[in-house]
Structure 1
Amino acid sequence: MITIKQAQNASYWRDLNPGLHICGLARANDAMLPESTDDVSNIYHPQCRQGGEKDDLFAGFDFSALSDRFWDEGYFLLHDLLPRDLLAGLRDAIERLVAKGLPPAMIYLYDEAWQVFAVLRPLLTHFLGDKIALLPHFWAWHVDPRDQGRGWPPHRDYQGESAIGDDMLISLSLWVPLSDATPENGCMYVLPRSFERWYDFPVIKPQDVELQDVRALPAGPGAVMGWRQDVYHWGSRASRHASFPRISLSLEFQNAAFDPLGDPLLDLETPPSFHDRLLLIARQFEKYRHMQKMNDDILALSRAILAD
């Protein structure tokens, strides 16, 4: 296990994944380094910057059809949307983290993990309006078939109000697979709102769900899945016969015109500094320990980071 001194050293993480960047910098011996690391507001790849090529992802896109299904079933799944080269680098980096005994959520130390979601601004704007805030709620998974890995159990991301009627969204979760997510290795499952509306009572526990209403949502790299934060969903357990792990990222957003649903709210266009990323990640371990089995050493490290 790494020490707190190593964890607080950005160079340690750059050397671990030299193909990725932290605040615009690659590993220390990179020949093309910016002169200053103080400004992290413009570190994104050109296709991920405001007004860049990211809008081309949605050229000719039928947002109306997407909205119809979203408001009916509570979720959407778009295939082959994101650039696969960016995703492949993140997938390989998570494999390196896991091989070192480090949690996949450490991937959010790297710029590229934030870039994935920056390219989706047109999608976020469509559902949440122009005032978008990143919630300080995120996670990354490496669901390993070799040790009976599983995604998170059935839950809703937010227990309060996540929409007003059927035309104004308050908050939205996005989930991005970095590897193929299949029923064998633990893909996502949802209870569509169109089915839950038929129920005589709100679903509180898995036993409340009619099994025939459950929908499996296999997806591959390049896909983006999004859901209202009141949608009941979960990740399944991987079969030991699956040939590869399910690796994925998730981040949450809100319409900033409403009261904050988390603290601090973050700016999609200006990613946190390295130090702030480390603190945010450390908070996730305590926050989600009821959802995810946590290594005692990782919990101790996160507490040390927060206390330092």
Structure 2
Amino acid sequence: MHLSTAEIERYERDGFLVIEEVLTAAECAELDRATDEVLAEVRAEATAAGKSPDEVLAAGVYVGLSLKSEAFRRLAREPRLLDPLESLWGPDIGFLSDKIVFKSHEVEFGSPWHQDWAYWQGSHKISIWIPLADATPENGCLMLVPGSHRQVFEHDQIKDAGTKGGFGNRLDLVSLGLPHEPVTVPLKAGSAVLFHDLTLHASLPNTSGEPRRAVIVTYRNLAEEDLEYPSLAAAARVRGRAPAGT
């Protein structure tokens, strides 16, 4: 599943690339069940610690799936995810983090416009966003700004309790000189959008009345110097050989 020359050129031009049918329906169903198990464990841990499970998951995101689930550890090493990255970076690929983002009756708001680099810093990362059910404008699919990966936009630092979606860094698109208009990217379950960490993106609110889950797996190029991320315990090399002596 390596990228063609045309696909590489499209990614380099737009800062993102849609790849159809990366996972099968059965694989999406397996990951959906694994998500149920992870979230049940998170809720039980919150209750045992005297916390409200609903508050712990109120942002509609849980980071660290690979620490709790073999299904997600396999996904992080799946060749169908790694081959496109190798086409862009070469063979030295590191898994950094994974998360589930979910929208339901309780968590229906959209995520604000942002660049992931505002959170990660360091070398540039690529994230792969895969919906476990069809992602539509009605249930909260992604929106992206083509060509926005060529510059860093200064984000507002918002840390108040009213910030929805757990986002402390966000942007007002009206004030930015954007290279292109945002595009809405609906996806079939198991298809993916691969995007640069400077690509401006957001998600629409879920107005469908049905739940929507998507997995986001983030990688880095191990041939490039990067920051240390001690809080990301699952980070690991997933392709290529470590240099001798490391």
Structure 2 length normalisation: TM-score? 0.68
Q: Confirm or deny that 1:208 pairs with 2:178.
A: no
Read off the aligned partner of 1:133 and give its amino acid letter: G
How far off its partner does 1:113 sit? 1.3
Equivalent of residue 128 in structure 2, options 170, 174, 177:
174
Greater per-residue strand proportion: 2
Alignment correspondent of 2:217: 251
Matched letter for residue 129 of structure 1: G
Distance in 1, Cα, partners of 2:196 & 2:85: 12
Equivalent of residue 221 in structure 1, options 172, 179, 189:
189
Whichever residue aligns with residue 22 of structure 2, its letter is L
Superposed counterparts of 1:1-308, under 5 Å: 58=1, 63-95=4-36, 102=43, 103=57, 105=62, 107-108=65-66, 109-119=68-78, 120-135=81-96, 137-144=97-104, 146-159=105-118, 160=121, 170-193=124-147, 202=153, 204=155, 205-206=171-172, 207-208=174-175, 213-239=181-207, 242-264=208-230, 265-268=235-238
- State the number of aligned residues: 196
Cα 1:260–1:62, aligned 2, differ >3 Å: closer, same or farther? closer
Q: Distance in 2 between matches of 1:93 and 1:133?
A: 23
CA distance in 1, matches of 2:177, 2:205: 19
- CA displacement at 1:98 relative to structure 2: 5.0
Q: 1:96 to 1:127 in 2, by over 3 A?
A: same
Q: Give the distance between the partners of 1:90 and 1:245, measured in 2 at CA.
A: 15
Q: Which amino acid letter does the alignment assign opposite residue 218 of structure 2?
A: E
Cα separation, partners in 2 of 1:253 and 1:62, compared to 1, 3 Å: closer
Task: State how far apart, in whole Å, the 2-side matches of 1:245 and 1:262 are.
Answer: 35
Q: By how many angstroms is 1:114 displaced?
A: 2.5
Q: TM-score, normalised by structure 1?
A: 0.56
Q: Is contact 2:3–2:84 with CA below 8 Å preserved after alignment?
A: no
Q: Secondary structure at the match of 1:72?
A: helix
Q: Percent identity?
A: 22
Q: Per-residue deviation at 1:93?
A: 3.4
Higher relative contact order at CA 8 Å, sep ≥6: structure 1 or structure 2?
2
**Residue pair 1:81, 1:223 contacting (<8 A) in 2 also:** yes
Q: What amino acid is aligned across from residue 134 of structure 2 in structure 1?
A: D
AA aligned to 1:178 is L
Q: Relative to structure 2, which stretch is displaced further, 102-111 or 87-96?
A: 102-111
Residues 219-250 of structure 1 deviation map (CA, whole Å, 9 limit, x = unaligned): 121211111111111122111xx142110111
The answer (yes or no) to whether the contact 2:65–2:72 under 8 Å persists in 1 is: yes
Question: Which string of whole-angstrom CA distances, capped at 9 and with x for unpartnered residues, describes residues 260-289 of structure 1?
Answer: 2442541226xxxxxxxxxxxxxxxxxxxx
Q: Is the 8 A contact 2:129 2:194 kept in 1?
A: yes
Q: Deviations over 1:173-197 (max 9, x none)?
A: 1111111111111111111116x87
CA RMSD of aligned residues (A): 2.9
Q: Which amino acid aligns with 1:149?
A: E
CA contact (8 A) 1:86 1:116 kept: no
**Structure with bigger gyration radius:** 1
Task: Report the secondary structure of 1:88's partner residue.
Answer: helix
Residues 1:152 and 1:266: Cα distance change in structure 2 (over 3 Å): farther
